[in-house]
């Protein structure tokens, strides 16, 4: 995958300021739920233009004021509430508490994130890995599809089963987790689609259920 794609440099788009894009990653992890990333980029651009790509500021805003700014991401009324809840987790009362969160064990932090309104395992793991640099492999629909087509996962394997498999099979290294997941997203988005493009896929020479049908 890496030979075909090159490093994905994912994510965020801008590594600026003392927080090195942390706000963009956390916000993007919420907005990308059930939508294409291009729609999230539009919402992030609006927030940046309004100087609101900032968890401390979002934590102090009413969800009703956030909603029209993220309209392009879809389900914007619901996502505004989720985004505010996540912002309040990171910045209760509008004061960022990263130093405190750095002291939390990864699993404690993961379960606490999952307990936040609107945060599921994928969103939590994305925040942990990409924003906080924690060792927590991200599973998404692309990963499940690729894993099933290549016989790594059964049809009924769930998120946690897939996460355990990839975590056990890959060296425990944050940059590696980051790059590996980003490459799977690239494969899933460009080749391993619901109707797969197997002949063009870099993994086409591997045993693949989809490939055997094309």
Each domain of the chain, given as residue ranges in start order, spans 8-136, 138-214
Beta strand segments in 112-202, E: none
Q: In whole angstroms, give the CA distance from residue 214 to residue 212.
A: 6
CATH number among 1.10.1670.10, 3.20.20.140, 1.10.645.10, 3.40.50.2300, domain 138-214: 1.10.1670.10
Cα–Cα distance, 174 to 10 (Å, whole number): 13
* Contact yes or no for 77/67 (Cβ under 8 A): yes
pLDDT, tens only, 161-185: 999 999 999 999 999 999 999 999 9
The rounded percent of the chain whose pLDDT value lies above 70 is: 93
- What pLDDT, on the 0 to 100 scale, is given for residue 206? 58
pLDDT at 126: 97
**Phi-psi label, residue 153: left if phi above 0, alpha if psi -120 to 50, beta otherwise:** beta
Q: What is the mean pLDDT of residues 74-91?
A: 98
Q: Which residue has the tokens 């004021």?
A: 65
Six-digit token pair at 135?
């060792």
Is there a shared CATH topology between the 8-136 domain and the 138-214 domain? no
Whether the per-residue pLDDT at 213 is higher than 70: the answer is no
Query: Is it the case that residue 52 has pLDDT exceeding 90?
Result: yes
pTM attached to this predicted model: 0.94
pLDDT in tens, 106-146: 999 999 999 999 999 999 999 999 999 999 999 999 999 99
Q: Any idea how long the chain is?
A: 214
Burial tier of 192 (Cβ tally within 10 Å: 0-12, 13-18, 19+)? buried
pLDDT for 207 equals 66
Copy the structure tokens of residue 20: 């090195």
The C-alpha atoms of residue 214 and residue 195 are separated, in whole angstroms, by 10
Domain 8-136, CATH: 1.10.340.30
Instruction: Name residue, tokens 């509008």.
Output: 94
How confident is the model at residue 19, as a pLDDT?
A: 85
Residue 73 has pLDDT above 70, yes or no: yes
């Amino acid at each position: 995958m890496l030979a075909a794609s090159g490093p994905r440099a994912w994510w965020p788009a801008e590594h600026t300021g003392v927080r090195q894009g942390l706000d963009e990653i956390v916000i993007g992890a919420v907005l990308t739920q059930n939508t294409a990333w291009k729609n999230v980029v539009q919402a992030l651009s609006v927030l940046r233009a309004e100087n609101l790509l900032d968890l401390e500021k979002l934590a102090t805003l009413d969800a009703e004021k956030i909603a029209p700014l993220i309209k392009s991401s879809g389900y914007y009324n619901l996502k505004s509430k989720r985004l505010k809840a996540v912002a309040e987790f990171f910045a209760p009362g509008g004061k960022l508490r990263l130093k405190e969160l750095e002291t939390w064990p990864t699993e404690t932090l993961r379960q606490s994130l999952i307990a936040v309104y609107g945060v599921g395992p994928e969103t939590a793991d994305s925040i942990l890995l990409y924003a906080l640099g924690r060792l927590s492999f991200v599973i998404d629909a692309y990963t499940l599809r690729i894993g099933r087509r290549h016989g790594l996962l059964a049809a009924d394997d769930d998120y946690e089963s897939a996460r355990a498999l990839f975590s056990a099979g890959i060296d425990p290294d944050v940059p590696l987790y980051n790059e590996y997941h980003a490459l799977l997203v690239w494969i899933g988005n460009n080749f391993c689609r619901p109707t797969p493009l197997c002949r063009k896929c870099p993994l086409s020479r591997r045993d693949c259920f989809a490939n055997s049908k094309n």
